[in-house]
């Protein structure tokens, strides 16, 4: 069976986006997206975990039986996240200081268990890892978008402290869009997360509807009128 990687990519990034279509992972999505940089960091760390868990669970898929699959998946995900946490603390210490708080939170991301259950447990290793990669990237994009909108509305800045996360060369993307912005606290607080998420979801629906209308004209207007 050939794996349709384009389908996987399209699913992960748009059609079946973790946040905007599956509506999963809303806890980290709203908790850490006070700034675009936080969203990016959390998104990338989650992507790494999703690729590894997708692969590992896919390898084990023939041995795991249905009765104990959920505890097995949870155990594997928790172990992998903890290993990533320890390894980053030891060898990527500066990055860990920025992301430290968020990494253990990855365990609570139901999207990872969701993909393990609905994709990796039924598909070959490469496809599962690719699914993890694109689901993770889709999640990252959603997190950056959500964090960016909240940051601009809440603080008038974009990508503050990106240099802490990505290194000094990225100092240039730290923008102050609105000088002397008085700040809009609600956007930084969790309610702002819900509000922005709501508007982004509505926006995606509108866009999807418009796209599908373009692709296939609506039958009512396209089909010739036939009197009964």
Partner 1 sequence: MALKLRANSALFLGAVSLVCGALLAFGQARTQEPITARLAEDLQNSLSQVIPPEVHDNDLLANTLTLLVDGQPTTFYRGMKEGTVSAVAFQMVGQGYGGPILILMGLDRTGSVLGVRVIQHSETPGLGDKIERGKSDWVLGFNHHSLADLGPGGWQVRKDGGVFDQFTGATITPRAVVTALRRGLKLFGAERETLLDPDATGEKKP
User: Is 63 a residue that touches partner 1 (CB under 8 A)?
Assistant: yes
Q: How far apart are CA 207 and CA 201, in angstroms?
A: 10
| Nearer Cβ to partner 1 (136/193) | 193
Taking CB under 8 A as the criterion, the residue among 65, 168, 180, 218 binding partner 1 is: 65
Contacts to partner 1 from residues 86-125, by CB under 8 A: 86-87, 89-91, 93, 97, 101, 121-122
DSSP, res 32: S
CB of 151 to partner 1, least distance (A): 8
When asked if residue 66 is in the footprint of partner 1 (CB under 8 A), the reply is yes
Q: Which stretch binds partner 1 (CB under 8 A): 18-26, 45-53, 75-83, 165-173?
A: 75-83
Residue among 10, 13, 69, 165 that touches partner 1 (CB under 8 A): 69
* Interface region with partner 1, contact rule CB under 8 A, candidates 14-22, 168-176, 185-193, 203-211: 185-193
Q: Report d(CA 44, CA 132) in Å as an integer.
A: 12
Query: Rounded CA gap, 185 and 155, in Å?
Result: 8
According to DSSP, the residues that pair with 157 across neighbouring strands are: 176
Is residue 128 a contact residue for partner 1 (CB under 8 A)?
no
Residue 170 DSSP SS3: helix
Site string for partner 1, 130-169 (x = CB under 8 A): ------------------------xx-----x--x-----
| C-alpha–C-alpha distance, residues 9 and 132, integer Å | 10
From residue 5 to residue 44, the character string flagging contacts with partner 1 as x (rule: CB under 8 A) and all else as - is: ---------------------------x-xx--x------
Instruction: Kindly tell me which of 32 and 130 has the beta carbon lying closer to partner 1.
Output: 32
What 154-160 contacts at long range (C-beta under 8 Å, 24+ apart), as own/partner pairs, is 154/34, 154/183, 154/184, 154/185, 154/186, 154/187, 154/188, 154/192, 155/35, 155/181, 155/183, 155/188, 156/181, 156/183, 157/35, 157/181, 158/36, 159/35, 159/36, 159/37, 159/40, 160/35, 160/37
- What lies within 8 Å, CB to CB, of 85 at 6+ separation is 96, 103, 104
The two three-digit tokens of residue 95, written as one number? 């990055």
Please tell me the distance from the alpha carbon of residue 103 to that of residue 111, in angstroms, as a whole number. 15
- Which of 1, 2, 6, 71 binds partner 1 (CB under 8 A)? It is 71
Which residue ranges make up the site for partner 1 (CB under 8 A)?
32, 34-35, 38, 61-69, 71-72, 75-76, 78-79, 82-83, 86-87, 89-91, 93, 97, 101, 121-122, 154-155, 161, 164, 183, 185, 188-189
């Amino acid at each position: 069976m050939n794996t349709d990687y384009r389908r996987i990519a399209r699913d992960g990034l748009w059609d079946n986006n973790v946040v905007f279509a599956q509506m999963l992972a809303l806890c980290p999505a709203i908790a850490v997206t006070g700034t675009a940089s936080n969203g990016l960091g959390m998104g990338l760390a989650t992507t790494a975990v999703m690729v590894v868990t997708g692969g590992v669970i896919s390898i084990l898929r023939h041995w795991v039986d249905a009765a104990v699959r959920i505890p097995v998946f949870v155990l594997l995900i928790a172990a992998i996240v903890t290993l990533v946490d320890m390894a980053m603390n030891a060898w990527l210490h500066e990055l860990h200081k920025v992301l430290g708080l968020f990494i253990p939170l990855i365990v609570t991301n139901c999207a990872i268990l969701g993909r393990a259950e609905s994709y990796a447990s039924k598909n070959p290793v490469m496809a599962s890892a690719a699914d993890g990669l694109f689901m993770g990237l889709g999640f990252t994009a959603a997190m950056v978008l959500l964090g960016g909108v909240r940051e601009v509305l809440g603080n008038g800045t974009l990508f503050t402290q990106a240099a802490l996360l990505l290194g000094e060369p990225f100092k240039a993307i730290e923008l102050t869009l609105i000088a002397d912005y008085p700040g809009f606290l609600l956007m930084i607080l969790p309610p702002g997360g819900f509000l922005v998420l709501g508007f982004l979801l509505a926006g995606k629906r509108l866009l999807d509807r418009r796209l599908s209308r373009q692709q296939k004209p609506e039958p009512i207007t396209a089909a010739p009128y036939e009197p009964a």
